[in-house]
Amino acid sequence: MSYDLSSFGWTDLRAADLPDGTVPARVSRVDRGAAEVIAADGQHHVRYGARVRRASAADPVALPCVGDWVALTWLPEGRYELDEVLPRTTAFVRGGVSRDSVGGLSGDGQGQVLAANVDIVFVAEPSMHSTDFADLGRIERLVALAWESGGTPVVLVTKSDLFEDGLDDLVADVRAAAPGVAVHAVSSLLGDGVELARGYLEGSRTAVILGPSGAGKSTLVNALAGDGVMETQQVRAADGRGRHTTVHRELIPLPGGGLVIDTPGIRRVGLYDIGEGVDRVFSDIEDLAAECRFGDCGHDGEPGCAVLAALERGDLPERRLQSWRKLQREAVWMASRTDARLRKEQQNKWKIIHKEMRRSGRNRP
């Protein structure tokens, strides 16, 4: 069995990070102390080497996660070992706060990476959710998370077939809630917008789909994969025998190119973590705030407040201002709970991303 790793997103840029004498592979699933990986010569179940074990004992963000590119070394006893996690270009990091079973909080300061090297973050929000319309606040939150990961958000208003009239207005409202972000209406049922979504994965890009339960994420993955989802999970052995593989359940290669990462962790990611991405989602308000007379304006009745002026003119919806205040409070709170180590990891991540952006001379693919 062999794989063309470029169809899994391997690039020359990443190859430059590969230590001599090692073999590149992409993590499709993790277990305790071991991972399923895809290398050019096939799929392997590999244990973590001493270096990975040591690094992750000190800092759990060093643990391999789905989507990671890793370096394998061949051991004399005739198997690979996962020797190193190659630098991540993007990462979903669950912050240093965990919720216990009764909803309490423990500020344990332990970050965890849920998915790495995700290029496109689809934010799926149903046009209708039981009897409610699309939730703009939820979109803002998930778009913030997407920016924070370093990936490019794309909002998909799913189940668009549930709308007869007014879909255009809804999409316009969503656009206003996510400035600078592409917004498309999608119906997996009718197939509308599915090809458009697929287009974002050209060039063997990797995507995740965030969104509430019932947003139609699984249905969209199936629509993107055509009837091929099972087929792509079957890999022909060199001897011509069909062979079922199971490792692709979390890193799903699409027949038309590109990959989707779908794990329980990434599905729950919206329940946690909010941070720097907030400024970016509310860039319109940040721009207004820069015009306020006082640098530390609280937009709470101070004279010369550009934010409240925009509100009065009707240029800024009240809902959006409230949403911004709420997410900012949350971000500040989260930041106070996140230890310095995790912040450093985030900063390094952004450094890499910004370097990458400057290098490629663009902000979005």
Sole binder of Zn ion in the list 141, 205, 267, 299 (CB under 5 A) = 299
* CA–CA separation, 243 and 45 (whole Å): 16
| Binding-site partner at residue 365 among Zn ion, ligand GTP, none, CB < 5 to 8 Å by type | none
Residues lying near ligand GTP in the complex (CB under 6 A) are found at 158-159, 161-162, 187-189, 211, 213-219, 267
Interface with Zn ion includes 305 (CB under 5 A)?
Answer: yes
Tokens 């706060």 belong to: 97
Smallest distance from ligand GTP to CB 302, Å: 43
| Binding-site partner at residue 267 among Zn ion, ligand GTP, none, CB < 5 to 8 Å by type | ligand GTP
Smallest distance from Zn ion to CB 286, Å: 11
| Binding-site partner at residue 162 among ligand GTP, Zn ion, none, CB < 5 to 8 Å by type | ligand GTP
φ, ψ of residue 175 to 5 degrees: the values are -60, -40
Residue list for the binding site for Zn(2+): 292, 297, 299, 305
Give the count of beta carbons closer than 10 Å to the beta carbon of residue 353: 17
Residue 305, CB half-sphere, CA atoms under 13 Å: how many? Answer: 13
Alpha-carbon distances of 127 from 90, 186, 190, rounded to whole Å: 29, 9, 14
| Binding-site partner at residue 331 among ligand GTP, Zn ion, none, CB < 5 to 8 Å by type | none
Of 85-93, 168-176, 239-247, 290-298, the segment contacting Zn ion by CB under 5 A is 290-298
Report the b/e string of 267-288 with b at 16+ CB within 10 A: bebbebbbbebbbbbbebbeeb
Tell me whether residue 166 or residue 203 sits nearer to ligand GTP (CB atom). 166
Cα-based torsion angle of the residue sequence 80, 85, 87, 91 in order, rounded to the nearest 10 degrees: 130
Give the count of beta carbons closer than 10 Å to the beta carbon of residue 49: 18
Smallest distance from Zn ion to CB 332, Å: 17
| Binding-site partner at residue 129 among ligand GTP, Zn ion, none, CB < 5 to 8 Å by type | none
Smallest distance from ligand GTP to CB 139, Å: 15
Residue list for the binding site: 158-161, 211-219, 292, 297, 299, 305
* CA–CA separation, 242 and 257 (whole Å): 21
| Binding-site partner at residue 67 among Zn ion, ligand GTP, none, CB < 5 to 8 Å by type | none
Taking a C-beta distance cutoff of 8 angstroms, is the pair 237, 1 a contact? Answer: yes
Tell me whether residue 76 or residue 303 sits nearer to Zn ion (CB atom). 303
Task: Give Cβ neighbours of residue 128 (< 8 Å, ≥ 6 apart).
Answer: 134, 159, 162, 163
Tell me whether residue 110 or residue 219 sits nearer to ligand GTP (CB atom). 219
**SS3 call for 218:** helix
Taking a C-beta distance cutoff of 8 angstroms, is the pair 72, 81 a contact? Answer: yes
Sole binder of Zn ion in the list 297, 310, 327, 342 (CB under 5 A) = 297
Q: Rule CB under 5 A: which residues touch Zn ion?
A: 292, 297, 299, 305, 307
